[in-house]
Amino acid sequence: MDAFLSPSLAISLPALARGLVHTLELAAVCLVASLLLGLVFGVMRYAGGRVLHALAIAYVEVFRNTPVLVQILWFFFALPILVQFEISAFTAAALGLSLNSGAFSAEIFRAGMQAVPTGQWEAANALGMSRARVMFRIVLPQAVRHMIPAFTNRWIELFKLTSLASVIAYPELVYSAQQISNSYFNPVEVFTLVAVIFIALVIPASYLLRRLEARLRRSAP
């Protein structure tokens, strides 16, 4: 236990706190972006014409069937060669994580919408609603309830995956831990603390999300 009381850990705390802020920033950006991507591609696959449908399938398959770490490294090292401008570590990580998570989210949206009975479409059509209106007023609100459990799992997964940004030196929690342990030679304390921080955030978050799910289920008609 002596190791834990070492002054080096006290010195490292501000840097770790900054790392945590970066982790949360990256997670928040990716969460919003992946939801938007998922909505767009999920709707394209569910209700789009032939071209949009094929595009959505290609997107989902490419990003679901390659490792997210390879995607992040591709955006960081390979894309700048193609587009001829520099891409920051944050941008590359956000692109990789959002597009990856967006592909999974698109499938969640699609499955949720498919769970809405076709009778709802027929009824809405009979009332003379436009396709877009049926989508956003009738189908999606009902579908969301089916999607919540899948989304909460996805978000927890996404939060943990932000740790991969450390590989391209984005100074989130894990990268900060590596830097600290390189300067103070205290890997035991620092990496244990980082693991504890993740666990302390993930376990209560998944508990709260499960309670939210249960409440939504109860309020279901």
Partner 1 sequence: MHYQWDFSVISDNAGLLLWGLGNTLLLTLIAILIGTPLGLAVALMRLSSRRSLAWPATVYVEVFRAAPALVQLYWLYFALPRLTGLRLGGFEAAAIALSILSSAFLSEVFRGGIASIGKGQWDAARGIGLGYPRMLRTIILPQAIRRMLPVFLERYIELLKTSTIAATVSFGDLLFVAQDISYRTYRTLEIFSAIAVMFFLVILLCSQLTRLVEHRLARSGEFTAR
User: Which tokens is 177 given?
Assistant: 């831990």
Cβ-count burial of 52 within 10 angstroms (0-12 exposed, 13-18 middle, 19+ buried)?
middle
Cβ neighbors of 49 (< 8 A, separation 6 or more) are none
CB nearer partner 1, residue 55 or residue 129:
55
* Site for partner 1 contains 209 (CB under 8 A): no
- Placement of tokens 């501000």 in the chain: 14
Say how far apart CA 170 and CA 178 lie, in whole Å.
11
CB nearer partner 1, residue 51 or residue 82:
82
- What would the x/- binding string for partner 1 be over residues 120 to 149, using CB under 8 A? ------------------------------
**Quick one: CA dihedral 112, 110, 202, 30, positive or negative?**
negative
Nearest Cα to Cα of residue 154 among 47, 55, 21, 33: 33
* Site for partner 1 contains 161 (CB under 8 A): yes
CB nearer partner 1, residue 21 or residue 203:
203
Residue 67 has φ and ψ, to the nearest 5°, of: -65, 140
Find the binder of partner 1 among 9, 37, 174, 180 (CB under 8 A).
174
- What would the x/- binding string for partner 1 be over residues 87 to 116, using CB under 8 A? ------------------------x-----
| Contacting residues toward partner 1, per CB under 8 A | 61-62, 65-71, 73-74, 77-78, 81-82, 84, 111, 160-161, 163-164, 166-167, 174, 177-178, 181, 187-188, 190-192, 194-195, 198-199, 202-203, 206
